[in-house]
A and B are shown apart, each in its own frame.
Chain A
Amino acid sequence: MSVNRREFLRLAGSAAAFGCAFNFPLRAIAGEDSLTAEAAQATGPLKAGRWAMVVDFQKCREINDCRDCIDACHAVHNVPQFDNPKDEIKWIWKEKFEGAFPDIEHRHLVHEVLEKPVLVLCNHCDNPPCVGVCPTKATWRRKDGIVMMDWHRCIGCRYCVAACPYGSRSFNWRDPRPFIKELHREFPTRSRGVVEKCTFCEERLAKGLIPACVEACKHKALYFGDLENPDSEVRRILSEKFSIRRKAGLGTNPEVYYIV
C-alpha cells in the first residue's frame, strides 16, 4: 500500500503536478496542470542518488541581515507570517550559533562565528527520527534521501516534532491561509493541525529546478547536489574544505553540511 502510494507520488511529482495533486487532487489527475508538465518535459526532472546541501557559513556570515534564501523559500511554499511567535512556522531560518551547534560553541570561539546566526533547515537525515515515530507514514524518506511530508495524511500528533533533534518541524496551530502574504498558486497551502517542514524543494526538482533557497542566494553560499556523484559540486566542496554537521553524534546522519 505504502509503496504504491510512494510510487504514485513519485510519478505525480515527475509530472510536476505534486503541488496541485495535494491541493486539488482531482484536477491534477484530470491533467489540468499541463503547463507545468510541459516544463518538466523540456528540462527533465533533477535526479540524484543522495541529495545534500552545503552551507558555506563563511560566505554567509559576511553579509549582514541577508535573508534572500529565507524569503524565497517562504514565498514559493506559502509559509504564513504570524505576528505571534507562538504560532510561528518556518522552513529555513537563522539560528544562534550556540543553538545550532551547542557542542561546538565555546566562549573564545572566533568572534564572527559566535556572533553571526547560522542558516538552519531540515537536515534530511539518513536515519530520520521523525520518520521512525510517525504513526501514519505521513512523513517518509525517499530513496534519494528527501524526507517527505503528506499533509493529507498527517493527523497532527506532533510526535515527529518531539523526535526531531534540530527543531526543524513546525505545526499549524491555526489556519495559516489568512497569513500568507502572497499566494503562490503552484504550491499547496496547508490546513490547520498538520506539521510541515522543508522538503528540499522536491516539487522544483521534479520540474528540473534547483531549490528556491539555493537559487535565491546571490552570494553562492548554498550548494545543492548529489552526494553519490563523485563529480558533483557538493562532493568537490566537501573534499576541499573542512565541514561540520549539526549534532552528528546522535547518529541521524544529517545531509546538510556547514563550512565554517
Chain B
Amino acid sequence: MLERALIGDRRYWLWIILLLVLISIGFLFYLKQLAYGLGITGLSRDVTWGFYIAQFTFLVGVAASAVMVVLPYYLHNYKAFGKITILGEFLAIAAVMMCMLFIFVDMGQPMRVPNVMLYPTPHSLMFWDSIALGGYLLLNVIISRVTLNAERKAIAPPAWIKPIIILSIPWAISIHTVTAFLYSGLAARPFWLTAILAPRFLASAFASGPALLILMCFIIRKLTRFDAGQEAIGKLTQIVTYAMCINVFFILMEIFTAFYSNIPEHLEHFRYLYFGLEGKSRLVPWMWTSVLLAVLSLVILIVPKLRHTNGLLIAACLMVFGSIWIDKGLGMVVAGFVPSPIGHVTEYSPTLPELLISLGVYAIGFFLVTIFYKIALSYKEEAMA
C-alpha cells in the first residue's frame, strides 16, 4: 500500500522535499525550545496559552468535520459522497496527529506526558480530551484502512466495519465538545465561560473543515484524473454555507450577551479583541479581517449565481477557512487571558521559533495528507482506468 506514495512526478517530489525541509526546521527549533524552555515563545505569566494551543483547538475542528461527509454517506446513503469519504477520514487522521503534536510541543515537561495515562484523573477535562482524540484517531485509522483495502480489491467492505463507522459519528462530535469544555468550564475566565462555546466550535468546524475539503477536491482535480464530482462539491458548499451562517449567528449571540449585559469582566475580552484595551490592540486588525472575510464569504456562498462560479467558490472557501482560523487560531485562546483575572492587560504575539515549530507541525500534517491522498487516489485512478 505504502509503495504507492513512492511513485510520483517531479512536482510531487519537490512538494515532499519542501515539507521535509519545513519539518526539519521545526524540529531543530523544537530542540532549541527543549533546551531553553517554553520561554522561547511569546507566552508570559499572564498569557500562558497561545499559538500552539490555539492551533490545536482549530485543528480539532478540522478533524471533527470529517463527520460531515461520513454522516450523509453512511446514515443517509448519500451516494455522491461515496468517493470522498476516504478523503475526509484521511484529513481527520492528519488533523488529529497535528492536534496531538501541538499539545505535545506546548508541554513544559514533554517526557512526563505519559503521566496523564499513568495517573488517570477523570475530573480533569484534559484526561477526557486525550481519550477522545486518541479514540478518534484509532477509529479513523481502522475505518480508512478497512474501506481502502476493500476498494483496492473491488469488494464491499466487511459488515463489521459499519458499527465502527456509525460510532465514529458521535465520536467526532465528542472531540470538539470536550475540547470546548476544556475552556468553558473555567470560572476564572469569563470569556470562555459560555454554554455556547461547544456549539460554536462545532459550527465553525463544520464550516472550516468542509471548506478545506472543497479546496482539496479542486487541487486533486487539477493534479490527478480523479474528480470528486460537481454534485459532491455542491453539497459540501451547502454544508459550508449553513455551518458558516450558524457560526456567525453564534458569534453575534455572544457579542449581544456581552455588550447588552454590560458586565465588565465579560465585556472587556470582547473589547480587547475588537477595539483594544488600554491602548493595546494587537489583535484588532486581525479580528476585523475575520469579520470582513466572514461577510464576503457568506455573500458568495448565499447568492447562487456567485457560488456556482468555481473561481468564486474557491475564494469563498479560502475566506471561510481564513476567517475561522483567525477567530479560533488567533483570537479565541489569547483573548481568554486578556485581561488576566487580576486585570493585567499583557499582550502576546508568537515568536519566530514558536511560528517555525508550528509550521513544522503543519508540515507534518500536510505530509501525512499528501501520502494518504496519494495512496487513496492511486487506487481510485486505477479503478477508473
Contact = CB atoms under 8 A, between A and B. Distances in A.
Interface in A233-260: 247, 250-252
Given A156-B108, A159-B126, A166-B341, A136 B187 contact: no
B120 to A, nearest CB: 9
Interface in B281-315: none
B115 A164 contact: no
B10 interface: no
Q: Which of B264, B337, B341 has the most CB of A within 10 A?
A: B341
Interface in B35-49: 36-39, 43-46, 48-49
B76 interface: no
A53 B46 CA distance: 25
Contacts of B121: 134-137
B31 interface: no
Interface in B249-303: 264-265
A193 B109 contact: yes
Q: Which of A88, A153, A173, A195 has the most CB of B within 10 A?
A: A173
Given A155-B112, A193-B107, A193-B108, A170 B36 contact: no
A44 interface: no
Nearest to B47: A86
B113 interface: yes
B115 A102 contact: no
B188 A99 contact: no
A194 interface: yes
A129 B108 CA distance: 20
A132 B113 contact: no
A155 B108 contact: yes
B7 interface: no
Contacts of A86: 39, 43-45
A162 B108 contact: no
Contacts of A195: 108
Interface class of chain B by DSSP = loop
Contacts of B189: 162
Given A133-B124, A173-B39, A155 B48 contact: no
Contact of A129 (B39, B45, B49, B186): B186
A163 interface: yes
A95 B116 CA distance: 34
A162 B113 contact: no
B173 to A, nearest CB: 22
Contacts of A174: 36-39
Contacts of A191: 109
Contact of A167 (B113, B130, B265, B342): B342
A191 B187 CA distance: 29
Interface residues of A, number: 51
Contact of A136 (B39, B46, B119): B119
A134 B182 CA distance: 11
A153 B182 CA distance: 21
B123 interface: yes
Contacts of B264: 102
B124 A193 contact: no
B126 A156 contact: no
Interface in B337-375: 337, 340-344
Contacts of A89: 45
Nearest to B118: A136
A98 interface: yes
B100 interface: no
A192 interface: yes
A135 B37 contact: no
B127 interface: yes
B239 interface: no
Contacts of A247: 341
A171 B126 contact: no
B115 to A, nearest CB: 4
Interface string A175-195: 100000000000000011111
B109 A162 contact: no
8 contacts: A98-B343, A100-B342, A155-B116, A158-B49, A162-B48, A165-B341, A172-B108, A174-B39
Given A154-B109, A155-B108, 15 more contacts: A85-B45, A86-B43, A88-B44, A99-B343, A135-B116, A135-B124, A135-B127, A137-B119, A153-B112, A156-B112, A167-B342, A167-B344, A173-B37, A194-B108, A247-B341
User: Which 10 residue pairs are nearest across A and B when measured between Cβ atoms?
Assistant: A156-B108, A193-B108, A173-B39, A165-B188, A192-B37, A174-B39, A135-B126, A99-B342, A174-B37, A86-B44
Interface of B: 36-39, 43-46, 48-49, 103, 106-110, 112-113, 115-116, 118-119, 121, 123-127, 130, 182, 185-189, 264-265, 336-337, 340-344
Interface of A: 1-2, 85-89, 95-96, 98-100, 102, 120, 129, 132-138, 153-159, 161-167, 170-175, 191-195, 247, 250-252
